[in-house]
Amino acid sequence: MLFAQGRTGSTLLGSLVESHPSASFGHEVLRGRVHSPRLYVESLRAAALPNAWGFHVKLYQLMDWQGVDDPAGWLRRMHDDGWLIVNLRRENLLRHALSNFTLNAVKAQDAGARGRFLEGDGRERPRIRVDPEELLLAIRHRELAGQLDDLVLGDLPRLTIFYERDLCEPARRQGVLDELFGGLGLPAHPVSTAMRKINAGSIGDIVDNYDEIASCIGNSAYARFLD
């Protein structure tokens, strides 16, 4: 079970997991209300047998959409039932927040577009302008959401994966996925994906008003996240 915020690389991780011949990934299967989220995901896991199977869930989906009033207890029960808990994080909160702004720009160009780019698809990322104060609020929101995730996870045993150093660095990616596969009782297997980063390059390559952003963020507690 992948417990993570949005725009943390969950689709990338799911793609890498699915490159194993004995694994499949259901992504956000709890986006809509179900009678019992535990029984529902257990039924999906049973349907995927003999493959290992995983899914992505966000804290607000459990609380707001599924009516889980004790998410920490829910996660604990899932772990006790044999689920491997994976927590995917982004360390650069500035780029995490910018990822949402870019996704909105992509969808503004094409309402049906998905927030993922594939090798050879010919798609180009739109350059964006971002209100510095709005960006600061988005960064703070991501920071608080991460702190809340930590509170809910508590001391629960889990595999923590960092997007930047574990998934974006090819030298580390295979080892991290092999550790995940081992936690699922699967043998190591070479991983691959056709996905490519939307926000590759420097922040100045992404944002038209980079000087404004750099001035605002540079005078904040988040200055370390600037290029």
**pLDDT, tens only, 79-113:** 999 999 999 999 999 999 999 999 999 888 776 66
| CATH code for the domain in which residue 169 is found | 3.40.50
**pLDDT, tens only, 122-135:** 888 889 999 999 99
Q: Which two tokens stand for residue 83?
A: 């689920």
Task: Give residue 35's Cα distance to chain centre.
Answer: 25
Domains of the chain: total: 1
Measured CA to CA, the distance from residue 201 to residue 197 in angstroms comes to 9
**pLDDT, tens only, 180-200:** 999 999 999 999 999 988 898
Range of the domain at 116: 2-225
- Specify the pLDDT at position 116: 78
Identify the helix (H) or strand (E) that includes residue 211.
Answer: helix 210-218
What average pLDDT does the segment 147-172 reach?
Answer: 97
Q: Strand, helix or coil at 87? A: strand
